[in-house]
Amino acid sequence: MNTSEVSRRSMLQQLATAAGTVTVLAVSANYATAQAKVSKTVVAYQDQPKGNQRCENCINFQAPSSCKVVEGEVGPQGWCKAYAPKPS
C-alpha cells in the first residue's frame, strides 16, 4: 500500500464524516423550527378553565407558568385549544 492510497482513504473518510455532520445539523435545525411556540391568540388561550380542562392537568403544561406549545406565561387554571390531558 502506498501513501497515495492512504491519503485517498483518509480523504474519503473525512468527507463521509463531514456529510454526516451536515445532515445532523440540518435535522437539528428543522427540529428546532418545528418546536416553535404559537401565540395565545392562535390557540384561543383563556385564563379560566373549560370545564375540567385546565393547563395544570395538560400534558403540555410546565409548572409554574409555562407551556410547551404556547408563548409566554400561562396560568395553571387557564385553557387553550392545544389542551391534551395528562395520562392517568
- Please report the pLDDT score of residue 10 as a whole number: 78
Structural domain spans, the chain: 1-36, 37-88
Give the CATH fold of the 37-88 domain: High-Potential Iron-Sulfur Protein; Chain A (4.10.490)
Sorting pLDDT into bands at 50, 70 and 90, what band is 88? confident
Mean pLDDT of 67-82: 96
- Please report the pLDDT score of residue 6 as a whole number: 65
Pairwise CA distance, residues 72 & 55, whole Å: 13
Q: Assess contact for 60 and 82: CB atoms under 8 A.
A: yes
pTM exceeding 0.85: no
Q: Looking at per-residue confidence, does 48 or 6 come out higher?
A: 48
Question: 20-44: per-residue pLDDT in tens?
Answer: 665 655 555 555 555 689 999 999 9
